Amino acid sequence: MSIMSGARDTLSTLVFEQALRQVRDRQLERMRDGRPMNDAELRAAEREAALAAARHVYGDDTAMAMGIASQAGERDHRKDYASRTTAAADMALLATHRLICAVPIVGDPEHAVP
């Protein structure tokens, strides 16, 4: 693996973390509005965050900008993503995100005091 591939893997984790933070921000907004995401909506948002991060970081534009590929289509981005060195870090991020989401928040109807 090249140094740039490792840097891209690290960048991917940072982009994924930011995307999960945006999911939590949306959840907070919806709680304040009295309509929090249900489990299915939250899982769908997490999945979309992971896919968006992967598409952004493992696409042709990023590979060419980082010097990992010299032309579009040269790399198999799905294989690059699947073999990334930061997969365990991504799973730890997701687990931490889910722990944060489980913390009761003022405005969450599920934890309202009658």
Q: What is the pLDDT of residues 17-36, one digit of tens each?
A: 999 999 999 999 998 888 88
Determine the pLDDT at residue 32: 84
The secondary structure of 28-73 as a DSSP string is: HHHHHTT----HHHHHHHHHHHHHHHHHHHSSHHHHHHTTS-SSTT
Pair of tokens at residue 33? 């509005």
Q: Name the amino acid, one letter, at 36.
A: P
Range of the domain at 16: 3-111
Give CA–CA dist 24/101, Å, rounded: 7
- The per-residue pLDDT for range 45-94, each reduced to its tens digit, is 999 999 999 999 988 888 889 888 888 888 888 888 888 889 999 999 99
Q: How many domains does the chain have?
A: 1
> Taking 90 as the threshold, does the pLDDT of residue 113 lie above it?
no
- Tell me what the mean pLDDT of segment 92-114 comes to: 84
> Taking 80 as the threshold, does the pLDDT of residue 114 lie above it?
no
CB-CB contact of 95 with 19 (8 Å): no
**pTM of the predicted model, to two decimals?**
0.85
Confidence of residue 1 (pLDDT cuts 50, 70, 90): low
Determine the pLDDT at residue 59: 87
